[in-house]
Amino acid sequence: MIKILILRDDLENIRRLKVSGHSGYDEIGRDIICSAVSAIVQTTVMGLNTVVGINPLYHQKSGLADLKIPDGLSQEKIKDANIVLETGLLGLKSIEAGYSEYVDIRERKVE
């Protein structure tokens, strides 16, 4: 199962997006669910870089993608970043809605 963790700050801005695991829908390399999740996460990272102009702290390897919004950004940059992140989250929730046995999204407040 793909587990997605969304961490939000006190103002409900997404501060971290962590994706771990494999869906098990099909073999690695042919798994449409893993591919779809990966495409959305990669697009979100590119949107943060290119559209918003920030470099998120991002680490990726097989079965893991971990994206963190850096501290010290202006409120405007945080707002813009959150638009991109919320849009990515909509796509991920759409996948979860159709394939809930393969994708689980949880949201928590940043501690």
Backbone angles phi, psi at 36, to 5 degrees: -65, -45
pLDDT in the model for residue 28: 82
Position 29 scores a pLDDT of 83
Neighbours of 41 (CB within 10 A): 21
Please give the Cα distance from 97 to 105 (Å, whole number). 10
Say if residues 51 and 84 touch (Cβ distance below 8 Å).
Answer: yes
**Domains, in order of start, for the chain:** 2-109 (3.30.70.1490)
Predicted pLDDT of residue 111: 72
Query: What does the pLDDT profile of the chain (111 residues) look like in tens digits?
Result: 999 999 999 999 999 999 999 999 998 889 999 999 999 999 999 999 999 999 999 999 988 999 999 999 999 999 999 999 999 999 999 999 999 999 999 999 987
What's the pLDDT at 9?
Answer: 96
Rounded to two decimals, the pTM is 0.94
Ramachandran angles phi, psi of 39, nearest 5°: -65, -40
